[in-house]
Amino acid sequence: MDRVVLGIGGNLGDREALLKDAVRHLESKMRIVKKSSIYETAAWGGNSSLPYLNQVVVMETGMSPEEVLDFVQEVEQQHGRVRNERWGDRTMDIDILYFGKQIIHTDRLQVPHPRLPHRNFVLKPLAEVLPDFLHPKNGLSQKELLERCGDTLSVRLWPGT
């Protein structure tokens, strides 16, 4: 079994219900090891207008990285994801942040996620659940990545988590 780390988020619809339902769908084919708290975060990337809810989920799977990618894209579509514009508003976005300690670079998939070190909305929940996990490319822990991140956009704990 491989450990896969997913970043899950969305900023349209009933954000919390969609997030929790997506996690339930992911559980149908993978086993949850850890879940971060849910965070409300400012939109990142310039094309989104509403704040997001984000969470990191650590899972175990027997699927290959490409199979996981296909599965998470299926879960996104089941939750109303429409790919109209990059970094635009969406009901659901699921990114593969890490796949064990593998470094993957294909036309469809880059792991570790290439923008991970630059995004507080990913690093804060990552540092919560995997503070000492070392990034396979730069050797820094998630806690160190968060401390060095220059992203100053708001990331706050969602009430009730």
DSSP string of 15-59? Answer: HHHHHHHHHHHHTTTSEEEEEPPPEEE---SSB--S-EEEEEEEE
Residue 80, pLDDT score: 72
> What is the chain's mean pLDDT, rounded?
91
For range 118-126, the mean pLDDT: 95
Distance from CA of residue 98 to its chain's centroid?
9
- Greater pLDDT, 154 or 124: 124
* Global pTM value: 0.93
Domain ranges within the chain, ordered by starting residue? 2-157
Task: Name the band, by pLDDT with cuts 50, 70 and 90, for residue 83.
Answer: low
Alpha helix stretches (DSSP H) within the chain = 15-26, 65-78, 120-129, 142-148
Q: Would the pLDDT of 86 be above 60?
A: no
Comparing CA positions, the residue from 96, 77, 83 lying closest to residue 25 is 77
d(CA 129, CA 156): 16
Q: How far apart are CA 86 and CA 20, in angstroms?
A: 24
What pLDDT shows up at residue 46? 64
CA distances from 76 to 26, 55, 141 (A): 10, 15, 29
DSSP single-letter state for residue 116: G
**What's the fold here for domain 2-157?**
Alpha-Beta Plaits (3.30.70)
Q: Which residues are catalytic?
A: 81, 90, 93, 95
Residue 64 in this model has a pLDDT that exceeds 70: yes
Give me the mean pLDDT over the 81-110 stretch.
84
Q: Is the pLDDT of residue 41 over 60?
A: yes
Pairwise CA distance, residues 38 & 2, whole Å? 24
66-94: average pLDDT: 82
Percent of the chain with pLDDT over 70: 91
pLDDT category at 154 given cuts 50, 70, 90 is confident
